[in-house]
Amino acid sequence: MIFKPVILKIAFLLFLNAMVFSCESGNKNSNLQRAKVNINNDWQYLENNTEHIGDAQKETHWKKINLPHSWNALDATDITPGYRRSASWYKKDLNIPNIISGQIYQLYFEGVNIESEVYVNGEKVGGHTGGYIGFLVDITKAISTGNNEILVRVDNTYNPEVIPSQKSDFFIFGGITRDVWLETLPSDYLSNLKITTPKVSNSNAEIQATVVVNSSNISNLKVKASLLDADGTSIKSSLFDISDSMSEINFKSIVNPKLWDIDHPNLYTLAVQLVEDNIVKDEISDRVGFRWFEFKDYGAFYLNGKRLLLRGTHRHEEHAGVGAAMSNKQHRADMELIKDMGANFVRLAHYPQDPEIYKACDELGLLVWDELPWCRGGLGNDAWKLNTKNMLEEIIEQNYNHPSIILWSLGNEIYWLPDFENGDNRENINVYLKELNDYAHKLDPSRKTAIRKYYEGADIVDVFSPSIWSGWYSGSYKSYQKAIDQYKKEYPHFLHAEYGGSSHLGRHTENPITGEGKIQSDGWEEAIVQTDVANIAQIGDWSENYIVDLFDWHLRISENDSTFVGNVQWAFKDFGTPLRPENAIPYMNQKGLVDRTGKPKDAFYVFKSYWGKDPFAYIESHTWTERQGPKGKSRDISVYSNCPEVELFLNGKSLGVKRRDTKIFPASGLNWTLNFNEGENNLKAIGKISNSKEVIDSLKINYRYAKNEKARALKLSYKLLNNGNYLVTAKAIDAKGLRCLDYEERVYFQCLNGGEALISQGTPTGSEIIEMANGQASIEIKRHSKDKPLQVMVLNQNFKGTYLTIN
């Protein structure tokens, strides 16, 4: 089915960033002014998939909620296979005390996943196909003074005609997953402000912009545009004529512009007014960043004329407990943590994301790969093609003005697992891919197009990423240099997107499995069917140690290659997937540098040691405080730091100062061999900075000479958390009571009485089924009342039940 909205289609609407600014001296405001009000609060939710609004209106079992909201927030990552793919209804009473004649009223939805229909007072006023793009609904003719009933039917049912494919490795969360706004506009108003900077240098810049004028009579109207710096000072200002409902704005000779770059993301504002006889009828604005970039043929990437190594990661839009229905605060926290790690590039995988993300990238100085969600599924039918092309247009038009965006990606693994017969036919795919590529360049000639892991289309797009998963899905991580050397010669604009592997927080080993002697070391390609290739993903231990080494090896190579564009780690944060029920945390892709709440794993500090600016030191590992080995057995300790020198102390004794050198593996040479005492050992690392400044990291390690025997039981303990909840921990112990550091089997938690377990979070302390990490696993419990005992149980196939009562 092809869905044709009866709404005002968004090409690009500047008032997504609605910003009312002061009129300059001499201009007066008209009585009609635009406004934008968030209406996230006080909605109701009905889990009923009826297609008829009348049936929904008769229902009495509505649940009070606030937006954003997803009905898959917990069921996507619970222990039951599958997740709800159906429809639901949302309702809100919208009170409009006074309707002003001539005013335009509309609802703006930042994202409704994945198809929607919108009703006002029983009348259908619009809808949308595609869950990751904003859309407008004009409700002017449907509203009345007083209360107005807003009803939205949302449907994430499997529909092969709407991308992304069901076979994608992530959840398609259903719901109104982003903010909703009530916007009011005057009868004569501006829209579709599109800004380009065709000429930029260190000494001079130019702005060209267009804006649509919506008016039945433009004879006396003018457009006034002003370029303001970050302090609000006017740099340029002029009046422009209107022709065919469009005004073209041009400012030349902007002298010595403050450039937008990753370290100084300078932003200007282009403020535009619709003026009639010195009266301001409407006003909109958007931000501008002056920058230029270039991918050198068979060479590096340049920003503002300087070589810049792209240091990237990927982001999926989800968080523990809420799924895709994240708050703006949570969105911002993700991007700030990515920036704090030192990244300068982010690939938004595998779909356009919340407006807050682009805003953050503009402000923080993060370059962006924005992606059309053509992820797997092959080529579809005519309806699929139309929906996909419409979605590409919406992505480009809505995000056009963001200086952070440099790449429009046309998809990922697009030929994999076709949803339609003959959908993996390369000739047919290439015809359509070329159509999309041409359309993207028509909509935006200033940016480049990209695609990942579709080799037959590598010469269609501007920038290409092959599949290189050295050390995980194929081969050894030591083959990475060979892989990039090959592809640098083969593709003129080669950017490596996706590398890494899974790690289970808190799992460590003295001897990580590297696969040497068991796998073909030179491979790096990811196979569709994983059983076809022996790899570390299958035979590895999922330890944090191994992943630290893998990333350290990759970064050592990329950081020391002067002609490499850069690479993009997969993925910044653990995320949910229906395709991985047997992982250490079921239904979680655990390739993140941080867990699903944003808590860093060891690998985070590896990247920060290469990329981060604020001095720090991190002893590997703060989640490995119980270790064992024979007396006299030497152990290696690495410190990840960006300081020029680090001194390590064991039990108060200096083990020497080492200088950091990124050409040395591991840990850029910050590695010491030592012997632990039996019992408590105290490590201290001092990172030495110029001017006698230091950063310090400390770690206590309990080391034993006795090796545990086979696990004989599970033992439960607890501690009270600052939030008032209890952290209940299960440990596997042997016959002597020693914790079994090599025990990795699944355990199953259950809160029997007196409280409830924090479950379905997809986190190391929020999953009722989880593999142990070094013989230990935990679950967070919320107690109902201190007057009643709290009872918790843990078991698995070998141990039939251990119980804990907290009185």
- The Cα–Cα gap between 413 and 466 comes to 10
- The Cα–Cα gap between 217 and 213 comes to 10
Measured CA to CA in angstroms, residue 734 lies from 745, 748, 767, 800 at distances of 14, 19, 25, 16
Q: Which of 183, 283, 371, 413 is catalytic?
A: 413
CB–CB of 58/69 below 8 Å? no
Catalytic: 544? no
Return the amino acid letter for 248: E
- 83, 159, 116, 131: which is closest to 377 by C-alpha? 159
- 458, 442, 429: which is closest to 396 by C-alpha? 442
- The Cα–Cα gap between 118 and 125 comes to 6
- The Cα–Cα gap between 642 and 640 comes to 7
**Which tokens go with 327?**
């708050």
DSSP 508-522: --SS----TTTS-TT
DSSP 116-134: EEEEETTEEEEEEE-TTS-
- The Cα–Cα gap between 444 and 438 comes to 10
Helices and strands in the chain, H and E counts: 9, 47
Q: To 5 degrees, how large is the angle CA 743–CA 744–CA 748?
A: 110
Return all residues near 472 (Cβ < 8 A) that are at least 6 apart: 499, 500, 501, 502, 535, 536, 537, 540, 550
- The Cα–Cα gap between 537 and 665 comes to 23
The DSSP 8-state label assigned to residue 462 in this structure reads S
Q: Is the peptide bond before 621 cis (omega within 30 degrees of 0)?
A: yes
Beta bridge partners of 333: none
- The Cα–Cα gap between 257 and 206 comes to 10
The DSSP 8-state label assigned to residue 269 in this structure reads E
Q: Are strands 135-138 and 104-109 parallel, antiparallel or unpaired?
A: antiparallel
Return the amino acid letter for 614: D
Q: Where are the beta strands (DSSP E) in 17-120?
A: 28-29, 35-38, 43-46, 63-65, 87-96, 104-109, 115-120
3-state secondary structure of 679: strand
Catalytic residues: 413
